[in-house]
């Protein structure tokens, strides 16, 4: 499938057909239908792909690096600390420099929300957003959707409870654009400070419900998605942090208690983009239980990012399908 955008900044940059294509393509990588290795993307050109992480990362950066290498592309880690960005060069000029050195695609993480908007009219290079401030993290949401579907979690006609610091979560913002397209309702739960004051007007409000009551979210959801309290993105102290686990977090004991009391018919799968803060949004027992699916998300992250990279480079060569 062709026609993927040169810049993937947010979920809405993709059509539903393109999202379905990515789910299909990622699954083929996962099942081993498509061989990994050199010239996966083009017979005549080995692509060069750079990562530029201007913010910390464990999962996202490394899964992109593994995806790049499995696709047989050449990988460059653009080290921002030692680059001319530190001498005051603009990001646009930096990206143009990379392009003229032959780099085909750059995966960027930045603390600046909407950083890529200014590039959309005239893209300096192909870009995948690896997380921009509190705005969006589209590749995380896509790999999450893949994992929900693989697990048989009820997406179409179901409800996910996203619990935690929704307002500062770029992952939540991408899921909010993505999941309703697949018929999944979203409950946003957390203390008042963690919930949006109002929903983006582009969202279908009938697909959303907001609550401060974690128990209500658990009762009404088919599966759960926990978020870290992202203190580094707060303008002031998180006054609700003490006692968070008891009030707003999810522990295995809490879920088992609800199950034995007949309030829920089964313990739901629990997802998390990581990194998790044990003792805050969840407890150790839940993290070690079979209901916790974060490692499945990490596994799928490589396949989904392979699919995304391949799709965004499709117009480079012959391997478009």
> Is residue 230 part of the contact set for ligand NCD (CB under 6 A)?
yes
Window 92-131: contact mask with ligand NCD (x via CB under 6 A): ---------------------------------------x
Q: Among residues 40 and 169, whose Cβ is nearest to ligand NCD? A: 169
**Min dist. Cβ of residue 300 to ligand NCD (A):** 12
Q: Among residues 42 and 60, whose Cβ is nearest to ligand NCD? A: 60
Tokens of 203: 């969202």
Q: Which of 171, 184, 218, 312 binds ligand NCD (CB under 6 A)?
A: 171
Q: Among residues 42 and 230, whose Cβ is nearest to ligand NCD? A: 230
**Min dist. Cβ of residue 130 to ligand NCD (A):** 8
> Is residue 170 part of the contact set for ligand NCD (CB under 6 A)?
yes
Q: What is the 3-class SS of the chain, one letter each residue? A: CCCCCCEECCHHHCCHHHHHHHHHHHHHHHHCCCCCCCCCCCCCCCCEEEEEECCCCCHHHHHHHHHHHHCCCEEEECCHHHCHHHHCCCHHHHHHHHHHCCCCEEEEEECCCCCCHHHCCCCCCEEEEEEECCCECHHHHHHHHHHHHHHCCCCCCCEEEEECCHHHCHHHHHHHHHHHHHCCEEEEECCHHHCCCCCCCCCCHHHEEEECCHHHHHHHCCEEEECCCCHHHCCCCCCCCCCHHHHCCECHHHHHHHHHCCCCCCCCCEECCCCCCECCCECHHHHCCCCECHHHHHHHHHHHHHHHHHHHCHHHCCCCC
**Min dist. Cβ of residue 117 to ligand NCD (A):** 18
Q: Among residues 92 and 151, whose Cβ is nearest to ligand NCD? A: 151
> Is residue 27 part of the contact set for ligand NCD (CB under 6 A)?
no
Q: Among residues 60 and 94, whose Cβ is nearest to ligand NCD? A: 60
Q: Among residues 60 and 214, whose Cβ is nearest to ligand NCD? A: 60
Q: Among residues 170 and 248, whose Cβ is nearest to ligand NCD? A: 170
* 8 A C-beta contact, residue 147 and residue 300: yes
> Is residue 274 part of the contact set for ligand NCD (CB under 6 A)?
yes
Longest alpha-carbon distance in the chain: 64
Distance CA 186, CA 14 (A): 20
Q: What are phi and psi of 35, to 5 degrees?
A: -65, 140
State the Rg of the chain over Cα.
20
**Min dist. Cβ of residue 274 to ligand NCD (A):** 5
**Min dist. Cβ of residue 246 to ligand NCD (A):** 21
Q: Among residues 91 and 294, whose Cβ is nearest to ligand NCD? A: 294
Distance CA 174, CA 98 (A): 28
> Is residue 249 part of the contact set for ligand NCD (CB under 6 A)?
no
Q: Among residues 302 and 314, whose Cβ is nearest to ligand NCD? A: 302
**Min dist. Cβ of residue 296 to ligand NCD (A):** 13
Q: Which of 42, 80, 94, 140 binds ligand NCD (CB under 6 A)?
A: 140
Q: Which of 137, 254, 293, 305 binds ligand NCD (CB under 6 A)?
A: 137
> Is residue 59 part of the contact set for ligand NCD (CB under 6 A)?
yes
Binding site for ligand NCD (CB under 6 A): 59-60, 131, 137, 140, 170-171, 228, 230, 273-274
């Amino acid at each position: 499938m062709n026609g993927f955008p040169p810049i993937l900044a947010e979920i809405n940059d993709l059509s539903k057909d393109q999202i379905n294509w990515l789910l299909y393509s990622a699954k083929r990588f996962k099942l081993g239908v498509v061989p990994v290795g050199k010239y996966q993307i083009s017979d005549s050109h080995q692509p060069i792909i750079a990562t530029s992480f201007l913010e910390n990362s464990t999962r996202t950066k490394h899964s992109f690096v593994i995806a790049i290498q499995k696709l047989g592309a050449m990988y460059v880690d653009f080290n921002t600390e030692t680059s001319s960005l530190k001498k005051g060069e603009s990001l646009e000029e930096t990206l143009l420099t990379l392009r003229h050195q032959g780099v085909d695609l750059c995966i960027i993480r930045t603390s600046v929300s909407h950083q890529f908007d200014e590039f959309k009219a005239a893209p300096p290079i192909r870009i995948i957003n690896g997380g921009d401030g509190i705005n969006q993290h589209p590749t995380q949401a896509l790999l999450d959707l893949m994992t929900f579907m693989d697990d048989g979690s009820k997406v179409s006609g179901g409800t996910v409870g996203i619990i935690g610091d929704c307002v500062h979560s770029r992952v939540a913002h991408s899921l909010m654009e993505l999941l309703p397209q697949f018929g999944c309702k979203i409950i946003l739960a957390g203390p008042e400070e963690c919930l949006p004051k109002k929903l983006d007007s582009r969202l279908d409000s009938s697909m959303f419900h907001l609550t401060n009551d974690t128990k209500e979210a658990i009762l009404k959801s088919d599966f759960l998605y926990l978020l870290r309290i992202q203190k580094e993105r707060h303008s002031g102290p998180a006054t609700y942090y003490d006692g968070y686990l008891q009030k707003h977090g999810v522990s295995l004991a809490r879920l088992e208690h609800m199950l034995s009391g007949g309030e829920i018919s089964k313990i739901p799968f629990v997802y998390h983009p990581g990194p998790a803060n044990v003792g805050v949004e969840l407890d150790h027992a839940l993290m070690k239980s079979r209901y916790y699916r974060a490692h499945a998300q990490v596994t799928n992250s490589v396949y989904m990012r392979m699919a995304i990279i391949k799709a965004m480079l499709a117009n480079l060569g012959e391997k478009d399908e």
